[in-house]
Amino acid sequence: MRKFPLLLGALILLAAHSAAADGFLSAVEDLPLAPGLTEIADSALSFDTPTGRIVEGAARGAVEAAQVLKFYGATLPQLGWTRESDSRFRREHEVLKLESAGDARMLTVRFTISPE
């Protein structure tokens, strides 16, 4: 009986690791990471406000910004986001902004979801 809490804890940790390994931003269950990006540990922030949720996260990898923007331009509309520009999308009453810094050797992408 003592082993049950340990087993349950291990299963929870494994599930959390699997979600990150599947290539999604941990703070947003339906926001995939572009190929080559890995989420930056402890970069996720999520909270609700009276006007809607605010979510932030970041990922990095050895990819070109153009490849990342192309991926999101093709993928996000399939998830209900409407493209407003290369780095700005809208879904219902939320706006998703992508900001990148660096180069193909090490690009950092910041994701911000906020109310309209």
Cα separations (Å) of 90 from 30, 36, 40, 94? 14, 24, 24, 6
Predicted pLDDT of residue 18: 36
- What global pTM score does this model have? 0.78
Fold of 23-115: Ribosomal Protein S8; Chain: A, domain 1 (3.30.1370)
Question: What number is the average pLDDT over the span 78-104?
Answer: 95
Give the chain's radius of gyration (CA, Å). 16
Residue spans per domain, the chain: 23-115
